[in-house]
Each structure stands twice: as structure tokens, then as C-alpha cells.
Amino acid sequence: MVYLTRSSGVLGLTDFGFRVGEANLRGCTKLRKERFIHMETATPQIQTIVSMPFDENSYVLSLPGQSECLVIDPGFDPQQIESVIAENQLLPVAILCTHGHADHIAGNGYLKDRWPSCPLVIGKGDASKLSDPEGNLSAGYGFNLVSPLADQTVKDGDLLELAGLKLRVRETPGHSCGHVVFVIEGCQPPIVLGGDVLFAGSIGRTDFPDGSFDDLKKSIHEKLFTLPDETVVLSGHGPSTTVGEEKRSNPFVGIECA
Ligand SMILES: [Fe+2]
């Protein structure tokens, strides 16, 4: 049995990720500590770092007893990510970004400075956003954020073998044209690192320049809802959910709403 833990986070005034953020944000509390999800078999230990000002979830994944870890979507609190890594005596072997929006890449530079040999991985279609403040949306919020460039770009079907884990890439455009999710293969229940595609009771915003609701709905139905119902979706904002729960009840893309 392993646990998913969540570090503290405080609500932001706005966000990059939610289509209907208010309802979700109101469901959060100011401090969210040690929220546990039980996983029944050999699955990675997952630690969640929630960063201001967009309430974005960064994740640190490692297999029990192993020192290598993955960092997913480093947000605006890379120091906290570094602390989690240090406290657990881990070594990051890759930074994986689900997409190139600022709140998911803001910590890349700090982590690359700290661990220069740690490769930065992102979907091919969003790689240009790393160095483009307009594309990564930071310019629109009044700050010009750039990240180190990608060391590796990935596309649909690619398999990454990192930190003892196998992660299958699925392209999921709609929130961002180059958005990808990472499906961890071989663990039970299955886990998908879902970024800003599907949230608990909500979906990612589609009002950005390269967003499309039709594309997002198609991505969710073809790339997420085809996973087993028990698949745990670790979202880029808010609490985790499962494929089955969102199929049944998601007001935007649930099967009954299709
Ligand atoms: Fe986003």
C-alpha cells in the first residue's frame, strides 16, 4: 500500500486551468495537508506540491525503496519541490511537463539549475511555449516567463522508461494544442498524469488561442475514457478523480452528457 500526499496550498485569485474554477476552488480549503489515497499494489509514491497563485499541482513520483524520482509540472514553488526531494533523499531523473502553460513550467529553470543533467520533457506541440511568454500565457498576466528549452519532445504512443516506471504518452489537445498526458503502465489501479485536461467535475479551459472544446472533448473521450474506470487521474489543479467517476458525472464531458 502506498499513499498519495498533498502539501499545503492557498487559493489563487485566478487560474490557467479551470473551465469553471470557482466551484472547484471553493471546494478547496486554505491548507490541504496529507490527503491520502490508498493504492493497493506496487505503485509509485506520489507527493503533491500545490503552488500559488494558480493552485497548480506539481507531483514528485518515486517507487518505494528507490532513489530516482520524476518531477511533473513544476509550478511556482520549486523550492518546495526541492525540499520534498531532499527530505525523501531522492534524485530527479526527469522533469515531465504535460503542457507549456506558465503555471506548469515556472519551476523548470530552478530545477534545471539545481540538477543540470535532469532532462526536460514536453509534448512536441507545446515545446515552443517554453521560451514564448505569449504562448505560455505569462505575458497576458503581466510577467514574461521563460523556461529552459526541452531536452526531449514526445508524441502520441511514445514510451518513457524512467525511475523504474513506464509511462505511455497520449496526445490530448484541446486545452493546449500540444498537451500530453502520461499513463503509468503496470500499476494497479492505473494512474494517469493528466495535466489540465480533465478535473474532478470539470475540464480544462478552452478559451486560450490554441484551445478547442471539441478537441478537448475528443481527447477526453478517446484518450482518457478508454482507460479502465478505476484509473486515477492526477490533475493539474484540484483533487484527483477517476475515469469512471468523470464518465458518470462530469457535467461537460460525462458519457450522459455526450
Ligand atoms: Fe494549463
Q: Tens digits of per-residue pLDDT, 164-187? A: 999 999 999 999 999 999 999 999
Tell me what pLDDT residue 257 has: 52
Q: How far is the CA of 146 from the centre of ligand 1 (A)?
A: 15
Q: How far is the CA of 66 from the centre of ligand 1 (A)?
A: 31
What CATH number belongs to 2-257? 3.60.15.10
Where do the structural domains in the chain lie, given as residue ranges? 2-257
What is the average pLDDT across 112-139? 98
Q: How far is the CA of 219 from the centre of ligand 1 (A)?
A: 15
Q: How far is the CA of 202 from the centre of ligand 1 (A)?
A: 13
Q: How far is the CA of 251 from the centre of ligand 1 (A)?
A: 20
The CA distance from 158 to 123, in Å, is 10
pLDDT averaged over the chain? 87
The CA distance from 238 to 23, in Å, is 11
Q: How far is the CA of 206 from the centre of ligand 1 (A)?
A: 9
pTM of this prediction?
A: 0.87
Q: How far is the CA of 176 from the centre of ligand 1 (A)?
A: 7
Tell me what pLDDT residue 43 has: 81
Tell me what pLDDT residue 256 has: 62
Q: How far is the CA of 35 from the centre of ligand 1 (A)?
A: 23
Q: How far is the CA of 84 from the centre of ligand 1 (A)?
A: 23
11 pLDDT more than 50 = no
Choose the weakest-confidence range: 6-10, 68-72, 91-95, 166-170. Answer: 6-10
What is the average pLDDT across 57-62? 98
Which comes out higher in pLDDT, residue 89 or 35? 89
Collapsing DSSP to helix, strand or coil, 9 comes out as coil
Classify the phi-psi angles of 67: left when phi > 0, otherwise alpha if psi is within -120 to 50, otherwise beta.
alpha
Q: How far is the CA of 194 from the centre of ligand 1 (A)?
A: 11
Tell me what pLDDT residue 42 has: 62
Buried residues in 206-228 as b, exposed as e (16+ CB within 10 A): bebebbbbebbbebbeebbbebe
**Banded pLDDT at 23 (limits 50, 70, 90):** very low
Tell me what pLDDT residue 26 has: 28
1 pLDDT more than 50 = no
What is the average pLDDT across 126-145? 97
32 pLDDT more than 80 = no
In the chain, the percentage of residues whose pLDDT exceeds 70 is 83
Q: How far is the CA of 33 from the centre of ligand 1 (A)?
A: 24
68 pLDDT more than 80 = yes
